[in-house]
Amino acid sequence: FDGGYQWFYEGRNGWWQYDERTSRELEAAYKKGERICELLVAGLLYIADFDAMLQIRRNDPSRRRRIKRDLATIPKKGVAGLRLE
């Protein structure tokens, strides 16, 4: 979307791009200045915390990953667990 930015979450040795729907939800919440955004990913609820820039699993807050908003062109592992190439 705008300015060529995208949303990413951290994997073991690189970044995954969020799926299209979740990315749109993150971007909308971020643009509204909200501090968190609730995400439903494969049946699990997560909180994206824009202050900490973390994704945290609702029912197990020890499951957390860094997130970032960065240029769509950065090196990435793939999209939502689907590897590139």
Closest CA to 84 of 73, 69, 71: 73
Give the residue with the Cβ less far from ligand V3L, 38 or 81. 81
Q: Is 76 in the site for ligand V3L (CB under 6 A)?
A: no
Rounded CA-CA distance 85/61 in Å is 32
Query: Is residue 61 part of the contact set for ligand V3L (CB under 6 A)?
Result: no
- Distance of alpha carbon 29 from alpha carbon 36, whole angstroms: 7
Helices and strands of the chain, counted as H and E runs: 1, 8
- The pattern of x and - marking residues 9 through 38 that bind ligand V3L according to CB under 6 A reads x-xx---x-x--------------------
80 binds ligand V3L (CB under 6 A): yes
Quick one: DSSP state of residue 27?
H
- Given the rule CB under 6 A, which residues bind ligand V3L? 9, 11-12, 16, 18, 41, 57, 63, 65, 77, 80-81
